């Protein structure tokens, strides 16, 4: 059994977490760190958000926290098993272990369980399916730690089944590939096959959820490889990308932006050939007004920049920059590169 004692892990033990741990221990409910935070800690990274999993039901948690005089906030997650408690100026999001009973590719009906293996089984990727006890013990049912060390991104169990539970997992696969994998093209053939066969399912996912994932993919590693793959696997058409995207220009731009910090929209616009492509993206993904304006500006003026001539070749760019605060100028300039 592996036991983590890294400084990032020790640093999590704030007065708030110590109090939470004490309450659960007193009632003999198991409490572990779950999902992404475990992956981050094993990678030597301090997690931004920490999710906890427990054998206690939401009702048992509410009773326990209320009896201890702990404030509970935001009861929206309760029907999915999540209780948020506030102790020592810190929020703790704790979710009961669960099994997906019915899934429709977007939402799941859940049933609570005390079986850690069953909960791990319903998670998307092996690197996200691990738990960490508060004593540092790693609980890893699907070789997630091995995959993390080898920089492999794999679905838990059967790829097609995991995707059909929530089609957004196709984009999550790409996002984590861009975050963890060392080189382009290191995919399991059956995973790519499962993605291709289920790509159409993305048509039923809301634009807002897709845009959140797509933005992260555009700012991660291997972005050129991953977007090319979206076209090869017939994903592009279901997520608002143009059918005849300019993949050559996209490859050129993604090469040029290394070590810069472009906006996701700047990167994506290099695929577009005209303003209709921006409009269609907006219709599908409900992008912000600022993102839409940036996309429209870039498709309108980039041709002019490449053949800039005349008395004031940069007039459009000067006007664009004058329109923003000094703090934003750096990111606006990156948009022209």
Q: In the Cβ-directed half-sphere of 159, how many Cα atoms lie within 13 Å?
A: 19
To which residue do tokens 């934003």 refer? Answer: 328
Q: Give the pLDDT confidence score for residue 76 in this predicted structure.
A: 77
Answer yes or no: are the C-beta atoms of 236 and 266 closer than 8 Å: no
Mean predicted confidence (pLDDT) in 147-165: 96
Helix (H, G, I), strand (E, B) or coil at 31: strand
Token couple for 303: 């041709």
| Separation of alpha carbons 159 and 179, rounded Å | 19
State pLDDT tens for residues 245-290: 999 999 999 998 877 888 999 999 999 999 999 999 999 999 999 9
pLDDT band at 54 (very low <50, low <70, confident <90, very high): very high
> 309 falls in which pLDDT band (50, 70, 90)?
low
**3-class SS at 185?**
coil
pLDDT confidence of residue 329? 45
Percent of the chain with pLDDT over 90: 80
Give the C-alpha distances (Å, rounded to integers) separating 175 from 37, 101, 209, 282: 16, 27, 13, 21
Distance, in Å, from the CA atom of 144 to the CA atom of 36, rounded to the nearest integer, reads: 11
Alpha carbon of residue 220 to chain centroid: 11
- Tell me the domains of the chain and their CATH numbers: 1-150 (3.30.460.10), 153-223 (1.10.110), 240-328 (1.10.3090.10)
Q: Evaluate whether 138 touches 1 at the Cβ level (below 8 Å).
A: yes
DSSP code string of 56-70: S-HHHHHHHHHHTT-
Q: What whole-number distance in Å separates Cα of residue 305 and Cα of residue 314?
A: 7
- What pLDDT score was predicted for residue 79? 78
CA 120 – CA 131 distance, rounded (Å): 8
3-state secondary structure of 23: helix
Instruction: Return d(Cα 120, Cα 51) in angstroms, integer.
Output: 14
User: Residue 334: pLDDT band by 50, 70, 90 thresholds?
Assistant: low
Classify residue 324 as left (phi > 0), alpha (psi -120 to 50) or beta. Answer: beta
- Residue-wise pLDDT tens digits, 203-237: 999 999 999 999 999 999 999 999 999 999 999 99
Give the whole-angstrom CA distance, residue 336 versus residue 315: 13
Contact 324, 334 (CB under 8 A): no
Contacts of 335 (CB under 8 A, 6+ apart): 262, 263, 266, 294, 298
> Which range is least confidently modeled, 101-105, 214-218, 273-277, 328-332?
328-332
pLDDT of 103: 73
Least confident of 56-60, 70-74, 104-108, 328-332: 328-332
pTM for the full predicted model: 0.88
- Alpha carbon 163 to its chain's center: 15
């Amino acid at each position: 059994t592996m036991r983590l004692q890294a400084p990032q892990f020790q640093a999590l033990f704030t007065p708030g977490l110590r109090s939470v741990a004490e309450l659960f221990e007193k009632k003999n409910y198991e409490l572990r760190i779950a999902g992404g935070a475990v992956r981050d800690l094993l990678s030597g990274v301090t997690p931004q958000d920490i999710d906890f999993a427990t054998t206690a039901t939401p009702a048992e948690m509410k009773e326990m926290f209320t009896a201890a005089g702990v404030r509970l906030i935001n009861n929206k997650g309760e029907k999915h098993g999540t209780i948020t408690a506030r102790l020592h100026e810190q929020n703790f999001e704790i979710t009961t272990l669960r099994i997906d009973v019915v899934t429709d590719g977007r939402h799941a009906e859940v049933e609570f369980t005390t079986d850690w293996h069953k909960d791990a089984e319903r998670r998307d990727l092996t690197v996200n399916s691990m738990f960490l006890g508060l004593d540092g013990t790693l609980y890893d049912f699907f070789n997630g730690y091995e995959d993390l060390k080898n920089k492999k991104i794999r679905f838990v169990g059967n790829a097609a089944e995991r995707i059909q539970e929530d089609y957004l997992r196709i984009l999550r696969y790409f996002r984590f590939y861009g975050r963890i994998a060392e080189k382009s093209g290191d995919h399991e053939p059956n995973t790519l096959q499962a993605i291709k066969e289920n790509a159409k399912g993305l048509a039923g996912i809301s634009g807002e959820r897709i845009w959140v994932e797509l933005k992260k993919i555009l700012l991660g590693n291997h972005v050129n490889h991953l977007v090319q793959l979206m076209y090869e696997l017939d994903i592009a058409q279901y997520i608002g990308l143009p059918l005849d995207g300019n993949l050559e220009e996209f490859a050129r731009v993604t090469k040029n932006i290394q070590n810069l910090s472009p906006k996701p929209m700047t990167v994506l616009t290099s695929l577009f050939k005209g303003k209709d492509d921006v409009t269609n993206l907006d219709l599908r993904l409900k992008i912000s007004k600022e993102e839409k304006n940036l996309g429209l500006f870039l498709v309108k003026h980039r041709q002019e920049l490449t053949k800039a001539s005349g008395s004031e070749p940069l007039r459009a760019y000067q006007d664009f920059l004058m329109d923003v605060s000094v703090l934003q100028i750096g990111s606006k300039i990156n948009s022209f590169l």
